[in-house]
A and B are shown apart, each in its own frame.
Chain A
Amino acid sequence: MLETFQNLYFGFAVALAPGVLLYAFLGCVVGTLVGVLPGVGPLAGISLLLPATFGLDATRAIVMLAGIYYGAMYGGSTTSILMRIPGEAASVMTCIDGYAMARKGRAGPALSIAAVGSYVAGTVSVVALMFLAPPLAHFALRFGPPEYFALLVLGLLVLAYMSTGSMIKALAMAVLGLLLGMVGIDQMSGYFRYHYGVVELGDGLGVVPAAVGLFGLSEIMLTAGQAVRPDVIRPRLRELLPSRQEWRESAGPIGRGTTLGFLIGIIPGSAHIISSFVSYAVERRWSRRPEEFGKGAVAGLAGPESANNSATSGAFVPMLALGVPSGPIPAVMLAAMMVHGVSPGPLLIRQQPELFWGFIASMYVGNVVLLVLNLPLVGLFVNLLRIPYHFLYPAILVFSIVGVYAVNNSVVDVWIMLGMALVGYGLRKLDFETAPIVLGLVLAPIIEMSLRQSLAMSDGQYAIFLTRPIAATLLAVGAALMLLSLRPLLTRSLDWRARLTLAEKGE
């Protein structure tokens, strides 16, 4: 315990250095803008802005990217409350009661409750991350290739189980991502696979062009044709403070949302979306006045908003401690860290303590920056939403092209982005989730390598995955999940995934 606080003190010394603080601040501002703009979620935002960090050292770059990440999570709530448009998918539940509060003339208090809830959730969950990641990393030192293989398989199965909609579709998308990850030079044999004469494919399909294509460009393709943007409700700055009654009603949901969000964030999958949905469901069930939900219930706003921000920190636990991303956003963060020569995993905390603890401390600082920043500047962010979309989307397109090109100074990456945008557009039209593709793409080389190393270790015996206790346990959990997913077929009832899909479609 004492050691943790000493390390945190060390982290604050790093995070409060003017250079690092400036980039944390910049990251938060840009992240909030990214979260506010429809069509640019945190995933595309991080991918697009990755080249902007190339000139920075690893600590500043990671601190800035993390700022963009949780800034985007904050920013998404503004459009949800004022326009009923979720800036990013996790804010879907915030739309329901947040927008209803705004319609009742309580836009200011709704924004304040969302900001304070996000701040509390963000801060508390960083404390949990701080205490949980180091022991988990220590435990992960026992992991060999079979354990990593089992963990990654479990991760993909959980991702598919936790995804909204059909599990078959989610699994198909994860397999598609894994297949795309097979392009490039095979690390064990040196064979160049599926390159069709394009030398630049030696390192495989880049995560950044794939993510920007699948999430950024395909979103623009889907939304650019929409004719009319809905009205924006303008809050009055002097009416920002919630009433005493509203504070009282939000305290419990913020606490519960924080706990739920962090726990769900650790689990692979679309943690933000799921955590906010689960939090909303819990609050409605626990409420003495469930009939108010959907009509401006404070708990329906405070719980989900806290949960999705808490999940942001939770998602960092497996990424920092195990080097295993729990979803597409941590996967892009992982790729960004690798670009800067940082390899997250069990040895990160020992080998680069200044980066790990500086990152943790900067998350505390970032939460304060966001709280201070978001409320006074809400008018500015709202004005940004007034830029006509026919001017906004060409600008986003230009940033996409620059961002993708700059990673490797290669137009091949722009072509990959274009191809993935087409794939993303088609898949989303056909009601497929594209997030598992990105995760599969990132995990493919690790999963293949750990499988082949495991077989080399065991002289080709597949029993190695069952004779090692950790690997066997992880695979057993995966098998149990598969069985659980079959339950709705037997009971013919709507499981939580089907209910979440209905909620997302506004039914």
Chain B
Amino acid sequence: MLTADRLAGGVLVALALGVLVESRALPIGSLRNPGPAFVPAVLALLLLGFGILLIARRGPVVRAADAGWSDWRHAVAILAACAFAALALERLGYRLTILIVMVFLLALVERRGVLATSLFAVALAFGSYYLFGTILRVPLPLGPLGF
């Protein structure tokens, strides 16, 4: 049975092995004179140990599937909005990017009405720019249209 601990342990083991493989490109040095790969390799071995312990231990059995993943649609939508922001921020500019993110979240994900979505999206995109960009003087990117 795939328990939460086994799933997490498996991921940690895979990550530790990945770090060990990647560390081969760096000089490991010696016990007396550690190189740049030494500490990462020691940590990866520790992580490998903890991962194996998690897989093998007899703790409270919680199935990974029972962790309550029903909110995954919202989680994916939020990640997608965030990824779009990362891609578009320096291309489209701050205000346009945030406007699109808000319309996506409010109209498509939350199914809010056109008026509420438009008002909130415009207010947040331009209001937050005014707060951070103008008042607090945080340099926020401008798009090709100059805003």
A contact set with B: CB distance below 8 Å? 51-52, 54-55, 166, 168-169, 171-172, 175-176, 178-179, 182, 186, 188-189, 191, 193-194, 217, 220-222, 224-226, 390-391, 393-395, 397-399, 401-402, 405-406, 409, 411, 414-415, 417-418, 421-422, 425, 427, 429-432, 448, 451-452, 455-456, 459-462
Q: State whether B106 touches A394 (Cβ < 8 A).
A: yes
Q: How far is the CA of A409 from the CA of B138 in the complex (A)?
A: 9
Closest 8 CB pairs of A and B: A460-B32, A225-B71, A172-B50, A225-B74, A221-B75, A186-B36, A414-B86, A191-B36
Neighbouring A residues of B73 by C-beta, 8 Å: 225
> Judging by beta carbons under 8 Å apart, are A217 and B82 in contact?
yes
Bound state CA distance, A456 and B120, in angstroms? 59
Interface pair B39/A448, CB less than 8 Å apart: yes
The secondary structure that dominates the A interface is helix
By the criterion CB–CB under 8 Å, are A398 and B136 in contact? no
Asked if B128 and A399 sit within 8 Å, CB to CB, the answer is: yes
Q: Which of B27, B71, B82, B106 contacts A191 (CB 8 A)?
A: B27
B43 interface hit (Cβ, 8 Å): yes
Contact B8 A430 (CB under 8 A): yes
Complex: how many Å from CA A409 to CA B139?
7
Smallest CB separation, B41 vs chain A (Å) = 10
Contact B137 A418 (CB under 8 A): no
In the assembled complex, B96 has its CB within 8 A of some CB on chain A:
no
Asked whether, in the complex, the Cβ of B79 is within 8 Å of the Cβ of A418, the reply is: yes
Contacts of B22 in A (CB 8 A): 194
Q: A186-B36, A224-B74, A425-B75 are in contact. Are A169 and B54 (CB under 8 A)?
A: yes
Q: Check A402–B140 contact: CB distance below 8 A.
A: yes
Q: Mark B1-36, 1 if CB is under 8 A from A, else 0.
A: 000110110001001000100100011001111111
Most interface-central of A166, A176, A179, A395 (chain B CB within 10 A): A179
Q: Which of A171, A394, A418, A427 contacts B86 (CB 8 A)?
A: A418
Which residue in A191, A418, A427 is a CB contact (below 8 Å) of B83? A418
How distant is A197 from chain B, measured CB to nearest CB, in Å? 13
